[in-house]
């Protein structure tokens, strides 16, 4: 995909120490702006879908891991003067995928790319966005510094765990959301019961309110305590769920402990059916085993993280390739990304 740029005229600078007027020359400097999309090993399928939506071929890059665990990358075609979009989510193996993204950015800078945009649909370490206990790192901030130091001119990401992560960057951050697509899925899914959007904890109550508003129903939320990492204990439901089809909404599903506990509480509160939806399907540890139970009828996520082949059939995946492709096209043409979402591409 290329776009032509107007021919520029170079203006000669006046010689120092003289009163001569500047001499205007007609030296043409044709410049064809180029868009190129590459993908790391963590997002090959998504990268290919994005490139297809843009009408271009996915760029060729050699990526491998040496026997000692070190990552290697090399672009197999010229990227000089091009706008490079590098698609790579930082999911498991998290550190390999993150390091691969950093090396691809650094290699692109060394190969004289015009602009380098890191497209990281799932931003690794995003949950570590503040110090909860003394002597902890703020890992999300460190990742932001690493991306900038490597040479990223811009970052394109989806549904950050906390909006404050955008403030860790000095370069522009384009924040995308999948909420309209997820909401539309349930609007198109006809069920006999009335829907109710439920947050599995108070921290996602605003998100539940947004989705409930788009579904034109009332929201609810479940109280929750977290005694330690990856362990959640659900309390009681705040809101009316009896006899309704409850949609548990969250930004991500990791070990699914919160989700399963919330579904159990909803069933005990009289919910007729329980669905779940989230932008990011991390699904680590015992997630699939937990989700195989009968309490949750269907789980809807996006392909910001590729779904494992051993995932339960009840998990439905919607692609964000079109959203990312349209955003990439807007960035490439210096258009407005927020206009694609009518200004609603904020978390809350």
Model pLDDT for residues 118-139, shown as the tens digit of each residue: 999 999 999 999 998 999 999 9
State the Cα–Cα distance between residues 178 and 79, nearest whole angstrom.
31
Question: What is the token pair recorded at 29?
Answer: 């400097």
Model pLDDT for residues 139-170, shown as the tens digit of each residue: 999 999 999 999 999 999 999 998 889 999 99
Could you tell me which residues come within 8 angstroms of residue 203 by beta carbon, excluding any fewer than 6 positions away? none
Model pLDDT for residues 288-336, shown as the tens digit of each residue: 999 999 999 999 999 999 999 999 999 999 999 999 999 999 999 999 8
Residues 57-78 have a mean pLDDT of 97
pLDDT attached to residue 235? 76
Listed in order, the ranges of the chain carrying CATH 3.40.50.2020 are 32-177+322-341, 179-318
pLDDT attached to residue 108? 98
Model pLDDT for residues 216-267, shown as the tens digit of each residue: 998 999 986 655 665 556 678 989 999 999 999 999 999 999 899 999 999 9
Residues 277-290 have a mean pLDDT of 97
* Per-residue pLDDT band at 7 (split at 50, 70, 90): very low
State the Cα–Cα distance between residues 86 and 36, nearest whole angstrom.
9
State the Cα–Cα distance between residues 289 and 156, nearest whole angstrom.
33
Tell me the percentage of the chain whose pLDDT exceeds 70.
86
Single out the residue of 301, 178, 169 nearest to residue 247, CA to CA: 301
Q: Is the pTM of this model over 0.85?
A: yes
> Is 89 within 8 Å of 320 (Cβ atoms)?
no
Residues 33-55 have a mean pLDDT of 97
Could you tell me which residues come within 8 angstroms of residue 309 by beta carbon, excluding any fewer than 6 positions away? none
Residues 16-36 have a mean pLDDT of 63
Rg (CA), the chain: 23
pLDDT attached to residue 225? 60
Burial 295-332 (b: 16+ CB within 10 A, else e): bbebbbbbbbbeeeeebbeebebbbbbebbbbbbbbbb
Question: What is the token pair recorded at 202?
Answer: 């108070």
Residues 73-97 have a mean pLDDT of 97
pLDDT attached to residue 203? 76
Provide the β-strand partners of residue 227: none
The answer to whether domain 179-318 has CATH 3.40.50.2020 is: yes
Instruction: Tell me which residues are annotated as active site.
Output: 224
pLDDT attached to residue 332? 96
Fold held by 32-177+322-341: Rossmann fold (3.40.50)
pLDDT attached to residue 3? 45
Using the structure block, give the residue that is written with the tokens 């990791």.
Answer: 254
């Amino acid at each position: 995909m290329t776009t032509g740029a107007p021919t520029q005229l170079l203006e000669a600078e006046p010689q120092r120490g003289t009163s001569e007027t500047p001499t205007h020359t007609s030296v043409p400097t044709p410049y064809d702006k180029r868009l190129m999309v590459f993908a790391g090993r963590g997002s090959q399928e998504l990268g290919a879908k994005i490139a297809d939506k843009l009408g271009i071929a996915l760029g060729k890059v050699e990526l491998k891991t040496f026997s000692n665990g070190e990552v290697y990358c090399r672009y197999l075609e010229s990227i000089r003067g091009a706008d490079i979009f590098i698609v790579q989510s930082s999911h498991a193996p998290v550190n390999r995928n993150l390091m691969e993204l950093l090396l691809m950015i650094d290699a692109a800078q060394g190969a004289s790319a015009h602009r380098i945009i890191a497209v990281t649909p799932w931003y690794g370490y995003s949950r570590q966005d503040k110090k909860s206990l003394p002597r902890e790192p703020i890992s999300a901030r460190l990742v932001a510094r690493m991306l900038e130091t490597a040479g990223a001119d811009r970052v394109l990401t989806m549904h950050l765990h906390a909006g404050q992560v955008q403030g860790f960057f000095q370069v522009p951050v384009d924040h995308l959301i999948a909420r309209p697509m997820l909401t539309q899925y349930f609007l198109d899914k006809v069920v006999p019961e009335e829907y109710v959007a439920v947050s599995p904890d108070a921290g996602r109550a605003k998100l539940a309110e947004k989705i409930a508003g788009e579904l034109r129903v009332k929201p609810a939320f479940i109280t929750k305590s977290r005694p330690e990492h990856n362990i959640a204990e659900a309390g009681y439901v705040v809101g009316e769920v009896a006899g309704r089809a409850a949609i548990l909404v969250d930004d991500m599903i990791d070990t699914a402990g919160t989700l399963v506990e919330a579904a159990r509480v909803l069933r005990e509160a009289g919910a007729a059916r329980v669905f779940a939806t989230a932008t990011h399907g991390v699904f680590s540890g015992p997630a699939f085993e937990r989700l195989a139970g009968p309490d949750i009828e269907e789980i809807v996520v996006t392909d910001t993280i590729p779904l494992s082949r051993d995932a339960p059939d009840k998990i439905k995946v919607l692609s964000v390739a079109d959203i990312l492709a349209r955003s990439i096209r807007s960035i490439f043409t210096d258009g407005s990304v927020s206009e694609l979402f009518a200004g609603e591409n904020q978390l809350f």
